[in-house]
Amino acid sequence: MATMKALVCRECGKEYPTQAIHVCEMCFGPLEVKYNYEAIKKGISRKKIQDGPHSIWRYADLLPVEGPNFLGPHAGMTPLVRAKNLGAYLGLDELYIKNDTVNHPTLSFKDRVVAVAITRARELGFETIACASTGNLANSVAAHAAASGMRAYVFIPGDLEAAKVLGNLIYRPNVVEVEGNYDDVNRLCSEIAGEHGWAFVNINIRPYYAEGSKTLAYETVEQLGWRTPDQVVIPMASGSLLTKIWKGLHEMKTVGLIDAVRTKINGAQAEGCSPISTAFKAGRDFFKPVKPKTIAKSLAIGNPADGYYALKATAESKGSMDMVSDDEVVEGIKLLAQTEGIFAETAGGVTIGVLQKLVKQGTIKKSDVTVAYVTGNGLKTQEAVIDAVGRPHRIQPSLVSFEQTFKVGKHGGGDA
C-alpha cells in the first residue's frame, strides 16, 4: 500500500520516519501518521471497498500498514443496528447502535485498534507485544498475540472486573497486575517501554494503533448507505476514539468517498471520571486530571492523553459533551438491553445515559440521524449490574408450581 509518508508531530510539525516512536523529541508532542491522500484518492472507491474483505481491512488504503499480510483478519464490520424501540422510547426518528459488543475476537472495539497495531508491529519486526490497559485492550492484545504466535505482556490495574482478568489469562500472556489505577499503569508502562524493545501497542505503536478507531467512522458511513450521521455519541476514556472518528469522517471527504461531513460529535463520560466533559461544560480547552471513581472502569482514565484533542474535535463539529452518574450507567445498560436486546458493558451504559440526556436537553433533535457507539460487551462487566437485574423465579418441577407463580391464561399473556 505504502500510502504512509511519515510520522509528524501534531504540535510542532517535525517529521520522523514511520518507526515505533510516538513522541516528538523536540517538544514532546504526539506523533501522527501522515498519508499521501492524493495517491489514496486515485486508488480508492466505494466499489473497491464494498468488494473488499468483510472486516476493517476493506479500508486498508486508509490504515497505517504496508500490507498485504494483515493480522486480526476478522476485526470490524460489526452490525449497525436500527434501534427502533430505543428510538421510539427516546423520541428519535432514526437512531442506530454501532454494535461493537460483537467484535471479533474479544467483543470490544479494541479488536480494531489491536489488529492494526499488531500488523504494524510485525511489519516493524517486533516479536513481543505489550499494552497498558483498562481491560478490553489487554484481552484483545492477548488473543491476537496467541493467534499470531507473538509473546505478550499485558499490564492491568489491580481492581479489574473478574471476566476481564480471566479474559487475559486464558490466552496465556504474561499478565501483570499493577497495584494502582490505570494512570499508574500507564505511567509505569511509559517507563518500561523506554527500557525494552517491545511493541507497546498504546505507547510506541500508538500512532498506528490509534488509527484503527477510524474504521468505526468508515463503517458507519458505509452502512448508512454512504451518508454521514447528523449526531454521534461516543464514550471517552483517553478521548482517542472520539478524535479518530472525527478524523475518519473527514478523511472520507478528503479522498472523495463522500461530499461533506455534517456530523456533530458528542462525548460521553461517567461523573466519577469526567475530566474532558467537565472541561467542555466549563468552556475550557484544557482539562484537569482527576482520580477516577466510577463503575465504568474501561473509561476510568483520570489523565486522558487525548483530552485536549477531543475537546477541539467536539468544538469544531459544534457538538457537545456530558456525563452521567453510576446509577444512570446501570439504567442505560438495562434500557439498551430491554429495548434492543444488546447487552453492553458499563461504557455502553455511559453512552446510552448521555444520549438520553442530550435528547432531553434538545441538543439532539427528533429528526437527527443519530449513531450511538456501544464499544464493549456486558458479559465482561457483570459486577456492575448484578444487583440491579432481579433473580430468576425458582419453582418446583411441577405444572402447579409453575402456574402458581405465573398467572398465565390458557392462551398466553400474563407475567409473574
Contacts with other proteins, residue ranges (CB under 8 A)? 10-11, 22-32, 35, 37, 180, 183-184, 186-187, 190-191, 194-195, 202-203, 206-207, 209-211, 238, 240, 243-244, 246-247, 250-251, 254, 286, 288-289, 291, 303, 305-306, 308-309, 313, 316
Convert 238-267 to b/e letters by CB count within 10 Å (16 or more is b): bbbbbbbbbbbbbbbebbebbeebebbbbb
Give me the DSSP letters along 45-90: -HHHHHTS-SSGGGGGGGSS---S--SSTT-----EEE-HHHHHHH
Min separation Cβ 186 and other proteins, Å: 7
Taking the complex as a whole, how short is the minimal distance between the CB of residue 247 and other proteins, in angstroms?
A: 4
d(CA 12, CA 297): 34
Q: Which residue, 191 or 415, is less far from other proteins as judged by CB?
A: 191
Cell of 154: 499485558
Q: Which is nearer to other proteins, 147 or 176 (CB)?
A: 176
Q: Which residue, 105 or 180, has its beta carbon nearer to other proteins?
A: 180
List, edge to edge, every strand of the sheet that includes 369-374: 80-82, 94-99, 369-374, 231-235, 264-270, 321-324
Nearest of 346, 338, 209, 383 to residue 269 by alpha carbon: 346
| Residue whose CB is less far from other proteins, 81 or 116 | 116
Report, in Å, the least distance between residue 223 CB and other proteins.
22
Q: How far is the CB of 252 from other proteins (least distance, A)?
A: 10
Q: Strand pairing partners for 269?
A: 323
| In the complex, least distance from residue 24 CB atom to other proteins, rounded to whole angstroms | 7
Backbone angles phi, psi at 129, to 5 degrees: -120, 145
Burial class (CB in 10 A: 0-12, 13-18, 19+), 143: buried
* 223 vs 254 by CB, closer to other proteins: 254
Which of 260, 399 has the CB closer to other proteins? 260
Q: How far is the CB of 286 from other proteins (least distance, A)?
A: 8
Task: Specify the residue for cell string 481491512.
Answer: 57
Report which residue type is found at 91.
G
Nearer of residues 212 and 378 to other proteins, judged by Cβ: 212
Tell me whether residue 206 or residue 297 sits nearer to other proteins (CB atom).
206
- In the chain, the N- to C-terminal Cα span, in Å, equals 60
What is the closest distance, in whole angstroms, from the C-beta atom of residue 340 to other proteins in the complex? 30
CB of 34 to other proteins, least distance (A): 9
- Edge-first strand order for the sheet with 128-132 is 174-178, 151-157, 128-132, 199-200
Please say which residue, 207 or 349, places its beta carbon nearer to other proteins. 207
Q: Which three cell numbers stand for residue 108?
A: 470490544
- Residue 61 Cα to chain centre, angstroms: 21
Which of 270, 258, 188 shows the shortest CA–CA distance to 228?
258
Q: Minimum Å distance from CB 104 to other proteins? A: 23
